[in-house]
C-alpha cells in the first residue's frame, strides 16, 4: 500500500512563481530560472511512490532539493504545483492542498520528523522534549508519562529523562529526537540528515539502531542523506536528486550497477560496494561455466568440479578429481563459525559481496550459489576481483 506519493511536485521559492513555472516545464536549469525570474527552484517535477514499510532515501549534493522535497510531506514547505499524497487510514490525503485542520491532524497523528541539528527545546528536560508531540495533542500528563517512559527505554535513555539536552552528547540528543518522533506513533517518519552532525562511529551505531527499530516498528521512513554509503546501508529505495530534479530512483543495487548519468556515477564511484552488490549480479551463472562431461567446472584451473542431478541440485563436489568436499548449506542465520573445516559452501545469490568474500576466505573454496536447491552460479576469486574492478572502472569513467 502506498504510504507517500509525490506526484509531479514543483516547489519554487520566491514571489515570481507564475513566470518560473513555464520555465520549469521547459526543463530550464535552476541557474537559468534564478537569473530570469529571481526565483529559486527547489524541486522540479518530483514523482516518487513510497510503499508502506520502505525506507526511501533522498540523496544528492548540497542544494539539490532533498530537504525541500522531504519537508513537503508535512507541509513545512509549500508545494507550488503538484500533489503530495500521504496515507491516513484508508485515504490518501493531499497535504499540498488540504486545509489547515487536516494538515494539523496529519502532523499530529501521521507524520513525525527528526531534525539534523536535533531541534530539542533547551529549557525542557529530556522527557518533556519527548512528550512534546503528545502535549501538543492535548494528552493529559499521566498518560503522557507512560508513553514517554516507553519510548525512552526504546532508545535506552530512560536513565537520562530528567537531564537537559545540553547535558547529553550529540548521539544521545539525536536519540531523544528519535524518541520524540516515535512518541506520537506516527507511521511515517521524516528524517533530514539526522546523523550528519555526528561523528562516524556514532553515526554508524545509530544507523544500526534505526534499522533495528525499523525491523520491529515497520515505519515508513523518508530519509535525507548526502552520503551514498549511508543511503545504501539503510535505504530500500534511493532517489538521487540533482539541481531540484530526481535523476534516478530505484533499489540500491540498481543504482550501483546502472548509474543513470555522470552525476550518479560520480557518487557510485566513491562508495563502498561490499555491502551493496549482491552475488546474483557478481556470479558467473551455471550456463556460462565450462563442462567436463556431466560435471561443471568452477574455476579456471579445473580444480573444482561439481556433479549435478537432473534438476540441477549439487550432488558432489570434487577437488582435483580426487578429494570429495562436503557441502555445507549456509543460511542467513548462520555465522562463519558454523561452517565445518574443509567444506564448500552453498549460499543464496542474495548474499552481499562482503559475505561472499568472507565465505571464500573462511573456507578457502569458491562459493556455490543456489536458489531453491538448484545451482545457479558461482563466486570465486575471479568474480570477486571483477566486482571490485567494475567498481573502479565506473570510478575511472566518472573522473
Site residues (vs ligand ATP, CB under 6 A): 13, 40, 42, 60, 62-68, 226
Chain centroid, CA 345 distance in Å:
29
Closest Cα partner for 306 from 316, 321, 320? Answer: 316
**Would you say the C-alpha torsion 297, 300, 302, 304 has a positive or negative sign?**
negative
For position 105 contacting other proteins by CB under 8 A, the verdict is yes
Q: Which residues in this chain contact Mg ion in the complex, by CB under 5 A? A: 67
| Cβ 47 to Mg ion shortest distance, Å | 20
Q: Can you read off the three cell numbers belonging to residue 22?
A: 513555464
For position 127 contacting other proteins by CB under 8 A, the verdict is no
* Contacts (CB under 8 A) with other proteins, residues 338-397: none
| Cβ 161 to other proteins shortest distance, Å | 19
Report the alpha-carbon distance of residue 157 to residue 187 in Å, rounded: 22
For position 107 contacting other proteins by CB under 8 A, the verdict is yes
Among 19, 135, 254, 299, binds other proteins (CB under 8 A): 135
Residues 272 and 200: beta-carbon distance below 8 Å = no
* Beta strand extents in the chain (DSSP E only): 2-13, 40-51, 55-60, 81-88, 91-94, 111-114, 188-192, 220-225, 237-242, 245-250, 284-285, 291-292, 295-297, 304-308, 314-319, 323-325, 327-329, 344-347, 367-371, 374-379
Q: Which is nearer to other proteins, 139 or 325 (CB)?
A: 139
Query: Which option in ligand ATP, Mg ion, other proteins, none does residue 133 bind, with CB closer than 5 to 8 A by kind?
Result: other proteins
Among 40, 108, 303, 388, binds other proteins (CB under 8 A): 108
Query: Which option in ligand ATP, other proteins, Mg ion, none does residue 391 bind, with CB closer than 5 to 8 A by kind?
Result: none
Residues 95 and 73: beta-carbon distance below 8 Å = yes
Query: Which option in ligand ATP, Mg ion, other proteins, none does residue 136 bind, with CB closer than 5 to 8 A by kind?
Result: other proteins
Q: Can you read off the three cell numbers belonging to residue 59?
A: 540523496
Residues 365 and 344: beta-carbon distance below 8 Å = yes
For position 133 contacting other proteins by CB under 8 A, the verdict is yes
From 115-123, 208-216, 225-233, 309-317, give the range in contact with other proteins by CB under 8 A.
Answer: 115-123
Cα–Cα distance list, 146 to 149, 179, 398 (Å): 5, 13, 53
Antiparallel, parallel or unpaired: β 55-60 and 237-242: parallel
| Cβ 212 to other proteins shortest distance, Å | 24
| Cβ 261 to ligand ATP shortest distance, Å | 17
Q: Which is nearer to ligand ATP, 125 or 225 (CB)?
A: 225
Query: Which option in ligand ATP, other proteins, Mg ion, none does residue 108 bind, with CB closer than 5 to 8 A by kind?
Result: other proteins
Long-range CB contacts for residues 37-40, cutoff 8 Å, separation at least 24: 38/14, 39/12, 39/13, 39/14, 39/15, 40/12, 40/13, 40/14
Helix intervals (H) in 9-163: 17-25, 30-37, 66-72, 100-105, 126-130, 132-137, 141-154
For position 104 contacting other proteins by CB under 8 A, the verdict is yes
Could you write out the DSSP letters of every residue in 155-182? TT-GGGTTSBGGGS-HHHHHHHHHHHHH
Q: Which is nearer to other proteins, 54 or 192 (CB)?
A: 192
Q: Which is nearer to other proteins, 123 or 301 (CB)?
A: 123
Q: Which is nearer to other proteins, 113 or 240 (CB)?
A: 113
From 82-90, 108-116, 239-247, 334-342, give the range in contact with other proteins by CB under 8 A.
Answer: 108-116
For position 118 contacting other proteins by CB under 8 A, the verdict is yes
Q: Which is nearer to ligand ATP, 163 or 226 (CB)?
A: 226
Cα–Cα distance list, 287 to 69, 290, 351 (Å): 45, 8, 20
Among 1, 62, 99, 166, binds other proteins (CB under 8 A): 166
For position 74 contacting other proteins by CB under 8 A, the verdict is yes
Q: Can you read off the three cell numbers belonging to residue 87?
A: 496515507
Q: Which is nearer to ligand ATP, 72 or 298 (CB)?
A: 72
Site residues (CB under 8 A) for other proteins? 74, 76, 104-108, 111-113, 115, 117-123, 132-133, 135-137, 166, 184, 190
Amino acid at each position: 500500500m502506498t504510504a507517500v506519493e509525490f506526484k509531479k511536485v514543483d516547489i519554487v521559492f520566491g514571489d515570481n512563481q507564475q513566470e518560473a513555472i513555464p520555465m520549469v516545464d521547459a526543463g530550464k536549469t535552476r541557474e537559468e530560472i534564478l537569473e530570469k525570474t529571481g526565483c529559486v527552484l527547489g524541486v522540479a517535477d518530483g514523482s516518487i511512490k513510497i510503499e508502506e514499510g520502505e525506507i526511501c532515501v533522498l540523496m544528492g549534493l548540497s542544494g539539490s532539493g532533498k530537504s525541500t522535497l522531504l519537508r513537503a510531506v508535512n507541509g513545512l514547505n509549500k508545494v507550488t504545483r503538484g500533489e503530495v499524497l500521504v496515507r491516513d487510514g484508508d485515504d490518501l490525503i493531499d497535504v499540498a492542498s488540504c486545509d489547515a485542520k487536516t494538515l494539523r491532524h496529519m502532523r499530529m497523528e501521521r507524520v513525525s520528523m527528526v531534525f539534523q541539528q536535533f531541534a530539542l527545546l533547551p529549557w525542557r528536560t529530556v522527557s518533556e522534549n519527548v512528550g512534546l508531540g503528545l502535549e501538543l495533542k492535548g494528552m493529559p500528563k499521566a498518560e503522557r508519562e507512560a508513553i514517554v517512559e516507553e519510548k525512552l527505554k526504546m532508545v535506552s535513555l530512560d536513565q537520562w529523562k530528567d537531564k537537559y539536552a545540553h547535558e547529553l552528547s550529540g548521539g544521545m540528543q539525536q536519540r531523544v529526537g528519535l524518541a520524540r518522533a516515535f512518541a506520537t506513533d506516527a507511521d511515517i517518519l521524516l528524517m533530514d540528515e539526522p546523523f550528519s552532525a555526528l561523528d562516524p562511529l556514532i553515526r554508524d551505531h545509530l544507523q544500526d539502531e534505526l534499522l533495528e527499530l525499523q525491523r520491529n516498528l515497520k515505519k515508513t521512513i523518508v530519509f535525507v542523506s548526502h552520503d551514498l554509503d549511508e543511503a545504501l546501508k539503510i535505504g530500500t529505495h534511493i532517489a538521487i536528486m540533482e539541481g531540484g530534479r530526481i535523476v534516478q530512483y530505484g533499489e540500491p543495487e540498481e543504482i550501483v550497477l546502472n548509474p543513470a548519468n555522470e552525476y550518479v556515477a560520480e557518487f557510485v564511484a566513491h562508495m563502498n560496494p561490499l555491502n551493496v552488490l549482491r552475488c546474483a549480479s557478481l556470479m558467473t551463472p551455471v550456463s556460462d561455466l565450462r563442462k567436463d562431461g556431466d560435471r561443471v567446472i568452477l574455476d579456471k584451473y579445473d580444480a573444482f568440479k561439481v556433479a549435478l542431478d537432473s534438476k540441477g541440485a549439487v550432488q558432489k563436489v570434487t577437488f582435483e578429481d580426487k578429494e570429495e568436499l562436503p557441502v555445507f548449506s549456509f543460511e542467513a542465520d548462520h555465522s562463519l563459525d558454523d561452517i565445518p573445516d574443509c567444506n564448500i559452501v552453498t549460499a543464496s545469490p542474495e548474499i552481499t559481496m562482503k559475505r561472499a568474500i568472507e565465505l571464500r576466505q573462511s573456507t578457502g573454496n569458491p562459493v556455490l550459489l543456489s536458489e531453491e536447491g538448484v545451482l545457479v552460479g558461482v563466486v570465486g576469486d575471479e568474480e570477486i576481483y571483477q566486482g571490485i574492478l567494475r567498481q573502479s572502472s565506473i570510478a575511472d569513467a566518472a573522473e
